[in-house]
Amino acid sequence: MTRGLFQSGSQPSLNSLVELLARRAAEHGDRQAFVFLPEGGNAQTTLTFAELDRRARALAARLLQTASPGDRAVLLFLPGLEFVVAFFGCLAAGIIAVPLMPPRRTAARDTSAAIIADCAPRLALTSAEVAATRPDVIERFHRDLAWVVVDAMEDGDIPGVALPSPGRDDIALLQYTSGSTSLPKGVMVGHGNLLANFEMLRVALRNTARSTSVGWVPLYHDMGLMMQVMQPLYVGAQSVLMAPAAFMRRPLQWLRAISTFRAEVTSAPNFAYDLCVTRFRPELMAGIDLSSCRIAMNAAEPVRADTIARFAATFAPYGFAADAMYPAYGLAEATLLVSGGVRGDGATTRAVSRASLKRGRAGAPTLAGDAQTIVGCGHVVAGQRAAIVDPESLRPLPARTIGEIWASGRNIAQGYWRNPAATEATFRARIAGDGAVWLRTGDLGFLDDGGMLYVTGRIKDLIIIRGVNHYPEDIERTVQNAHPALRRDWGAAFAVADDQGVEKLVLVQEIERTHRKNLDLDEIVARIREAVATEHEIAVHDIALIRPATLPKTTSGKVQRQLARQLWTEGRLERA
């Protein structure tokens, strides 16, 4: 089997992604690197390794006529290969790339202004399509930024400008956090962090130059950028990109692309696998063969055992192997991956006691109805360490005890952009008797006796009522199973304090579009109250049933519970 660019465990000989791309262009220049599949049957666009290298260096020379190495450039693109050229153009110029979602026209909750204020960019890179169809985007920021329009298909002359040679400690990009529990912060990801994590990914996934990938996750999100752009480049594989909106409208087209390109690797949050099952129709799967898929990474949000089971059962007749499902755990502060499974092993599940989880332990169920099935997110990948730590005492905890997940390794990013206090608190943690510097992830979980990592929630989202811990994801799933009119993966559970400071449970839940007419809302509310009381022994303070597509989520699909709480408090939810 081809081992890829570097040998496992060795020190990579490259210093940056710029050198990596140059090597790919020199060794396999005519090999197709990227394919973009547009909607509507339009012709796909492609880039070879040589074309990408040449066009990125030409763009870098243009950028250095206006900016200097170390300046920031926001990348504002609609889906397409222009983003890929722009990203590597920034790297080649030594300019720090800041991937950013184009702000929505009606952006009451948009974070782009806060991100731009934080990173103070010199440049904004965009496409002719954005300039033509979204003049509001350019108008919003035009006074502060120099705009550069990028054409991924254009071969321009390379001006006589000397390009820098980025080093491993140089910042490649600012990956802004999702903002699911706070304002976004810019994670400073260095070239060395990227190279280290991509080698970890290569070893964990066993990817080679033959491991074609297909993906639709937005490229301004860390999973999309790392798994669909940089990791394929690292192993010299082809990457096939789709527009996120195309997936949301026709999710089974994602599976068709896997079949068409005989892709080995794909990645998406848990909700995407649920959505495929929801939209499944036999006639839409005609001619689709999923037998080539060996890695279906499930990460970026809580991984559900019932989702995995439904997806595997639904698509097994079309060649999908259950052992291809690959639950994983990662975060932007760790570049991407912290833990994952073994290719071909499939998902590992574990039955635990609901009651023991509430007490901070992962004990075996002893009573009927006390069992809850949770999914393991694999073992910590080679080259990293992980520990479960009491977030208050900062002491390590034994196996099967729930605490904060900490991570350490060369892939851990350098900190938060111009935020030394948050950097010190999050990236410079210490464990007594251990000389390593640790990243505090803010996530809760436990390690079992064999070192399998199970993620149970977020510290800031944890609901504590009458001294008992409740994970919002568990309550939300109970709610969504209570009535077919309740939209799966589109609910938020959180606590609010009453006038006496007593914590009360509030539920916000979307209604399915197909069930909006002739609904008996009182019956639905009664079913929710009964289900939550039965499963979790909690009385619900308020249930807000809201219109479809109005629950606040991050760009990667994570529920923004703190923002939902704020909207509920201010009476600004769009109730059904």
Instruction: Classify domain 345-458 by CATH number.
Output: 2.30.38.10
State CA 1 to chain mean position distance.
30
pLDDT value for 11: 39
Q: Where does residue 519 rank: exposed (0-12), middle (13-18), buried (19+ CB within 10 A)?
A: middle
Task: Map residue 254 onto helix, strand or coil.
Answer: helix
Pairing of strands 32-37, 45-48: antiparallel
pLDDT value for 346: 97
Alpha-carbon dihedral angle through residues 247, 477, 330, 181, given to the nearest 10 degrees: 100
Tens digits of residue pLDDT in 304-328: 999 999 999 999 999 999 999 999 9
- The more confidently predicted of residues 71 and 40 is 71
Q: What is the C-alpha separation between 176 and 192, in angstroms, rounded? A: 18
Choice among 42-56, 81-95, 501-515 with the minimum mean pLDDT:
501-515
CATH architecture of 463-569: 2-Layer Sandwich (3.30)
Average pLDDT of the residues of the chain? 91
- Sheet containing 503-511, strands listed edge to edge, beginning at the edge strand earlier in sequence: 486-497, 503-511, 540-546
- The more confidently predicted of residues 479 and 138 is 479
**Which 3-state string (H, E, C) describes 284-349?**
HHCCCCCCCCCEEEECCCCCCHHHHHHHHHHHHHHCCCHHHEEEEEECHHHCCEEEECCCCCCCCE
pTM greater than 0.85: yes
Locate 354 and state its tokens: 């609901």
Task: Map residue 430 onto helix, strand or coil.
Answer: coil
Cα(first)–Cα(last) distance of the chain, in Å?
56
Average pLDDT, stretch 199-208? 97
**Single-letter amino acid, residue 437:** V
Asked if pLDDT for residue 535 goes beyond 90, the answer is: no
Average pLDDT, stretch 481-500? 90
Task: Map residue 130 onto helix, strand or coil.
Answer: helix
Distances (CA, A) of 543 to 363, 470, 517: 31, 17, 19
Query: To 5 degrees, how large is the angle CA 128–CA 129–CA 134?
Result: 110
State CA 434 to chain mean position distance.
30
Asked if pLDDT for residue 288 goes beyond 80, the answer is: yes
Average pLDDT, stretch 260-269? 97
Pairing of strands 265-268, 239-242: unpaired
Asked if pLDDT for residue 260 goes beyond 70, the answer is: yes
Asked if pLDDT for residue 7 goes beyond 90, the answer is: no
- The more confidently predicted of residues 112 and 227 is 227
Distances (CA, A) of 78 to 39, 47, 49, 60, 165: 13, 17, 22, 21, 29
Contact status, residue 66 vs residue 148, Cβ threshold 8 Å: yes
Distances (CA, A) of 273 to 39, 315, 349: 21, 11, 17
In the chain, the percentage of residues whose pLDDT exceeds 70 is 95
Task: Map residue 270 onto helix, strand or coil.
Answer: helix
Average pLDDT, stretch 260-273? 96
Locate 255 and state its tokens: 């599976």
pLDDT value for 179: 58
Beta strands in 354-475 (DSSP E): 371-375, 379-380, 384-389, 403-409, 439-447, 453-458, 463-465, 468-470
Residue 267 per-residue DSSP state = E
pLDDT value for 6: 38
pLDDT band at 426 (very low <50, low <70, confident <90, very high): very high
Tens digits of residue pLDDT in 130-140: 988 888 888 87
Q: What is the C-alpha separation between 331 and 333, in angstroms, rounded? A: 5
**Which 3-state string (H, E, C) describes 438-449?**
EEEEEEEEEECC
Choice among 22-26, 37-41, 332-336, 410-414 with the minimum mean pLDDT:
37-41
Asked if pLDDT for residue 568 goes beyond 70, the answer is: yes
DSSP string, 18-80: HHHHHHHHHHHTTSEEEEEE-STTPPPEEEEHHHHHHHHHHHHHHHTTT--TT-EEEEE--SS
DSSP string, 184-238: --EEEEEHHHHHHHHHHHHHHHT--TT--EEE-S-TTSHHHHIIIIIHHHHHT--
pLDDT value for 41: 66
Q: Which of 40-44, 128-132, 348-352 has the highest mean pLDDT?
A: 348-352
Asked if pLDDT for residue 177 goes beyond 90, the answer is: no
Q: What is the C-alpha separation between 29 and 147, in angstroms, rounded? A: 30
Q: Which residue has the tokens 């939902």?
A: 564
Task: Map residue 521 onto helix, strand or coil.
Answer: helix
Q: Where does residue 151 rank: exposed (0-12), middle (13-18), buried (19+ CB within 10 A)?
A: middle
Locate 415 and state its tokens: 């900190």
Asked if pLDDT for residue 161 goes beyond 90, the answer is: no
Task: Map residue 160 onto helix, strand or coil.
Answer: coil
**Single-letter amino acid, residue 271:** F
Average pLDDT, stretch 133-162? 83
Tens digits of residue pLDDT in 57-107: 999 999 999 999 999 999 999 999 999 999 999 999 999 999 998 887 655
pLDDT value for 469: 81
Domains 345-458 and 463-569 share a fold: no
Contact status, residue 35 vs residue 243, Cβ threshold 8 Å: no
For the beta carbon of residue 135, count every other beta carbon within 10 angstroms: 11
Q: What is the C-alpha separation between 476 and 109, in angstroms, rounded? A: 23
pLDDT band at 109 (very low <50, low <70, confident <90, very high): low
Q: What is the C-alpha separation between 145 and 430, in angstroms, rounded? A: 40
**32 has which bridge partners?**
48
In the chain, the percentage of residues whose pLDDT exceeds 90 is 77
Domain borders along the chain are: 345-458, 463-569
